[in-house]
Amino acid sequence: MPKRKNAESNFSIDTTIPTLGNAKIPSPISFCRFEDDEKGLSVFLDREFLEELGDEEPIPIRFESAGPRRHLFFDTSKTKCAIVTCGGLCPGINDVIRAIVMEAYHNYNVAGVMGIRYGLEGFIPKYGHEIVELTPDSVSNIHQFGGTVLGSSRGPQNPEDIVDALERMNVNCLFMIGGDGTMKAVKSIVAEITKRNLKIAVIGIPKTIDNDISFIPQSFGFETAVDKATEAISCAHTEAQGAMNGIGLVKLMGRESGFIAAQSTFSIKEVNFVLIPETRFELDGENGLLPALADRLKRRKHAVIVVAEGAGQHLMSTNKATDISGNPVLGDFTTLLKDRIKEYLSNVGMPYTLKYIDPSYIIRSVPANANDRIYCGLLGQSAVHAAMAGKTSMVVSKLMDRYVHIPLDLVTRKRRTLNIHSDYWRAVLESTGQSALRGMVPDNYCEL
């Protein structure tokens, strides 16, 4: 396995997937080409990945291919699976649930698939959530709906209690669909399973509408979210054009990473200013947003501003509050921005109208589009193949159009953020015409 020690972060890239033991049982699947653990996807991690790792030179790295194995760890007809969904909603969760159930039943003939209700709470008896039996019949239509049929929740639960529940239910394979927090929960559950020397496979299916999980270049639901976000931007543009000095302000998801804001801005080409958490823009001063906005209104009589949820936190007083899962509670930057626009434009004597659109809950809850459905289907199938072969403590992901296994440690290390040194961000800024704003590009951008 390629390994490389990183002097600064002491990080070595090890892509070995942990297993529960030897896979000796012939697979019941008889019609397919099997994948081999030795085969895989070899890539050179480029600068975008390397920045996450704090390294400088390209690193060759090989990821194990996802897909069915000729030999399995589990005797599948005696194997019980469970699925849990945690964190916020994202288009495609039901597609993943459906794919896991269909694959497990139809191709592996498993003994049963249980649905855990309302996230990690569903494991804990005191909450009284019933366990649901998931069958091909019960899941056949769920992909037509957004959200998660299992329900979700935030908030920590004791890994010991969760593993107690897995033992009580005789679960052999647990599939956990969720974001960064859920992947950390997978880690703690795997640690407890290992401590008890149990043979339970735990596979993560990374879900993040913000697209912010390391090593996952594009997470499922992201494309649908961008589609939906562009509709909101288009409406904001129409509203802005419909009034003298009309301003359309759209808030999109992106707590620490501005991917949805950037991608939908780049797609719709009507946005004049896009503010993301990764940039330390200013509101005032020669290169600040407010004078640039006034200038834009003077010239074109309308403007569209897209703000990612976590943008502008550097301009607000620090808030140390966290939600029940430990995520920081963000300051309300769009309210500050609206107030500052009002103040600035009144001071320069410029009448305006502002229409504010926050489509977040609509975007999160729509059903997945066609491409995301394909993606979710393959993730669900790949997760089942991996679990049956006895692989654990890993996630399934699409990387460069291939489906691969990624060790949990790699994806939980650091949150993925938009690289503002990238050609991509430069192109987004070019499409808005805002590259003159201070903070949108790093000071030494041209030397990089």
- What is the C-alpha to C-alpha distance for residues 65 and 56, in angstroms, rounded to an integer? 26
State whether residue 238 is helix, strand or coil.
helix
- What is the C-alpha to C-alpha distance for residues 355 and 352, in angstroms, rounded to an integer? 10
CB closer to ligand ATP, 115 vs 248: 115
State whether residue 297 is helix, strand or coil.
helix
State the minimum distance, in angstroms, from the CB of residue 209 to Mg ion: 10
> Is 354 near ligand ATP (CB under 6 A)?
no
| Beta-ladder partners of 175 | 83, 203
Partner touching 88 among Mg ion, ligand ATP, none, CB below 5 to 8 Å by kind: ligand ATP
State the minimum distance, in angstroms, from the CB of residue 52 to ligand ATP: 18
> Is 185 near ligand ATP (CB under 6 A)?
yes
Do the annotations mark residue 310 as ligand-binding? no
Q: Are strands 112-116 and 80-85 parallel, antiparallel or unpaired?
A: parallel
b/e map 410-424, b = 16+ CB within 10 Å: bbbebbbbbebbeeb
352, 293 contact by CB (below 8 A): no
185, 86 contact by CB (below 8 A): yes
Do the annotations mark residue 47 as ligand-binding? no
Do the annotations mark residue 390 as ligand-binding? no
Site string for ligand ATP, 68-87 (x = CB under 6 A): ------------------xx
> Is 334 near ligand ATP (CB under 6 A)?
no
Catalytic-role residue among 210, 212, 227, 372: 210
Site string for Mg ion, 164-193 (x = CB under 5 A): ---------------xxx------------
CB closer to Mg ion, 119 vs 179: 179
Q: Provide the 10 A C-beta neighbour count for residue 57.
A: 9
Q: How many residues bind to ligand ATP according to rule CB under 6 A?
A: 20
How many residues belong to the chain? Answer: 448
State the minimum distance, in angstroms, from the CB of residue 207 to ligand ATP: 6
210 among known catalytic residues = yes
The count of C-alpha atoms lying within 13 angstroms of the C-alpha of 25, restricted to the half-sphere facing its C-beta, is 16
Residue ranges in contact with Mg ion by CB under 5 A: 179-181
Binding-site members are 88, 154-155, 179-182, 208-210, 253-255, 309, 361-364
